[in-house]
Amino acid sequence: MESVDVLVVGAGAAGLMAAIHAGRTSGPDTRILVVDGARKIGAKILVAGGGRCNVTHHEVRPEDYGGSTRNAIRKVLRAYPVEAVVEFFAAEGVALKREETGKLFPTTDKARTVLDALLEAVSKAGVELRHPVRIESIERWDDGFTVAGSDFQATAGRVVLCTGGKALPKSGSDGAGLEIARGLGHSTTDAIHPALVPLVLTDVDPIRELGGIAAPVTLMIRSGNGRAIAEYTAPLLCTHFGVSGPVVLDASRYLLAARAAGDDATAVVRWLPDVDRGEFELSILGASGGATCQSLLKGRLPDRLLRMLLHAAGVEPADRVRGLTRDRRRALLDTLFEHPLVVVGDRGYTFAEATAGGVPLSEIRLESMESRVVPGLHLAGEICDVDGRVGGFNFQWAWASGRVAGAAAAASIRSNS
């Protein structure tokens, strides 16, 4: 059985950052090992941002995350802010550029640049990376841990658990780490479900006939009693199964969380996000005699989408606006400003970009990411009950929590030796 001082389990974004900072913090005789069950390291980094890797966002706030409390999330984010991440990558030879949306990408537009720099930094920090090594059990003893897996057995003074959540399971993140955390005595949130996930509409929903059509909309998630839960404005993409696009991905976790808690929550679309309903109604009432429903809305929405919405409101494109009955006018306004989506499911972890739920931050000391339940165990990344919206927020959480966990784990070995 081999013996290491710090064992990092999982070499995704959080684990690589933890390994680098553990290596940089440790003394010369400290042995740090990072293992991963995957054959191919960094699969998620490589597919991120459509292969360009949206490394972070120029402005990251706790409000950009769901899960644990904002105060807890803020504390960890503050320990490794965006500027420090930008500096870190610059020092590793990866310049980042900011796009109009605020997202930061490598100037090469290649995720490979990011992964290569991280792997190089791991090696320069004196940390060994070994894979495929899939960890199956971790046991805590008085003076450390016994860790076992496929052809692997080791004792470790400290363990940093960075096994991710359940999104994109073929990358190796299949929730096994959550089981391990539970086995060690941690709890996990009552609900764990996909986040940043496309939503499925009923078979007969006409939106499914509009695959490929996109429009900027406001998407509102409301509880069964009408209370506003979340609201986002961004492009919505119609697909052959339902809806996707940034606005749907961002809002999905709130709909699924509410439903998981037994709330009959709904998703409601405002198709004209920058138009006030009252003003639009006035423009209908004041429309010229010749204006038709189609001409009133022409150019505001893609043609096929517009036709579908008019049909849903029970009006014909050629109907004169001034001739609409009060009921039809109301139906048109409701369809344009309060269109409920009949969401029957989601596309699951295979198509989700993140996981909502996990180990609550209340069970973790945030200055070190050390477990309050299992001394010597640190946790970082998506295994925690923190999920960000689209835009680089999930990586920022992984970088920040990974750095805090790795540096603290190595520092504690140093202070004990």
Ligand X SMILES: Cc1cc2nc3c(=O)[nH]c(=O)nc-3n(C[C@H](O)[C@H](O)[C@H](O)COP(=O)(O)OP(=O)(O)OC[C@H]3O[C@@H](n4cnc5c(N)ncnc54)[C@H](O)[C@@H]3O)c2cc1C
Residues 6+ apart with CB under 8 A from 188: 178, 181, 182, 357, 358, 359, 360, 385
Angle at 163 between CA 158 and CA 168, to 5 degrees: 175
Joined tokens for residue 371: 């477990």
d(CA 194, CA 354): 6
- DSSP state for residue 69 in the 8-state scheme: -
Q: Which residues contact 287 (CB under 8 A, 6 or more apart)?
A: 296, 321, 322
Residue 321 or 354 having the CB closest to ligand X: 354
Rounded Cα distance between 355 and 14, Å, is 15
36 or 205, CB closer to ligand X? 36
Residue (of 199, 243, 194) closest to 354 by Cα position: 194
Q: Which is nearer to ligand X, 183 or 286 (CB)?
A: 183
Q: Is residue 244 close enough to count as binding ligand X by CB under 6 A?
A: no
Q: Which of 62, 177, 198, 245 contacts ligand X by CB under 6 A?
A: 177
Q: Indicate whether 66 belongs to the interface with ligand X (CB under 6 A).
A: no
3-state secondary structure of 216: strand
Which residue, 205 or 382, is less far from ligand X as judged by CB? 382
Q: Which of 392, 400, 403, 409 binds ligand X (CB under 6 A)?
A: 392
CA atoms within 13 A on the CB side of 13: 30
Question: Please, which residue, 168 or 409, has the CB nearer to ligand X?
Answer: 168
Does residue 252 interact with ligand X by CB under 6 A? no
- With beta carbons less than 8 A apart as the criterion, state whether 413 and 158 touch: yes
- The minimum distance between CB 59 and ligand X, in angstroms, equals 14
The separation between the first and the last C-alpha atoms of the chain, rounded to the nearest angstrom, is: 21
Q: How far is CA 239 from CA 48, 219, 229, 383, in A?
A: 21, 16, 25, 30
Quick check: 365 and 412 in contact, CB under 8 A? no
**Taking contact as CB under 6 A, which single stretch among the options 11-19, 76-84, 89-97, 274-282 is the one that binds ligand X?**
11-19
Q: Does 398 bind ligand X (CB under 6 A)?
A: yes
**Nearer CB in complex with ligand X: 220/234:** 234
| Residue 394 is a binding residue for ligand X (CB under 6 A) | yes
Part in contact with ligand X (CB under 6 A); list of ranges 247-255, 290-298, 365-373, 389-397: 389-397
Closest distance of CB 297 from ligand X, Å: 34
Q: How far is the CB of 349 from ligand X (least distance, A)?
A: 9
Cβ proximity to ligand X, 168 vs 410, nearer residue: 168
Q: For residues 320-359, which are near ligand X according to CB under 6 A?
A: 353-354
Please name the amino acid found at residue 393: F
DSSP states along 232-261: EEEEEEE-SSEEESHHHHHHHHHHHHHHHT
Q: Which of 14, 129, 147, 364 binds ligand X (CB under 6 A)?
A: 14
How many chain residues interact with ligand X (CB under 6 A)?
37
Considering the complex, state which of residue 120 and residue 264 has its C-beta at the smaller distance from ligand X: 120
Residues 147-166 within binding reach of ligand X (CB under 6 A): 162-164
DSSP 383: G
Q: 3-state class of 301 per DSSP?
A: strand
DSSP state of 148: E
Instruction: Check residue 12 for interaction with ligand X (CB under 6 A).
Output: yes
- Interface with ligand X (CB under 6 A), residue from 66, 246, 381, 406: 381
Stretch that binds ligand X, among 13-21, 66-74, 187-195, 356-364 (CB under 6 A): 13-21
**Which helix (H) or strand (E) is 373 found in, with range?**
none
Can you name the residues that pair with 137 across neighbouring β-strands?
148
Residue selected from 25, 173, 252, 412 as contacting ligand X according to rule CB under 6 A: 173
Q: How far is the CB of 196 from ligand X (least distance, A)?
A: 7
Burial class (CB in 10 A: 0-12, 13-18, 19+), 96: buried
Buried b (16+ CB within 10 A) or exposed e, 211-223: eebbbbbbbbbbb
CB nearer to ligand X: give 346 or 382.
382
Which residues in 21-50 contact ligand X (CB under 6 A)? 35-38, 44, 47-49
Which CB sits closer to ligand X, 107 or 288? 107
CB of 215 to ligand X, least distance (A): 23
**Between 157 and 391, CB nearer to ligand X:** 391
Residues that bind ligand X (CB under 6 A): 9-15, 35-38, 44, 47-49, 53-54, 134-135, 162-164, 167-168, 172-173, 176-177, 353-354, 381-382, 392-395, 398
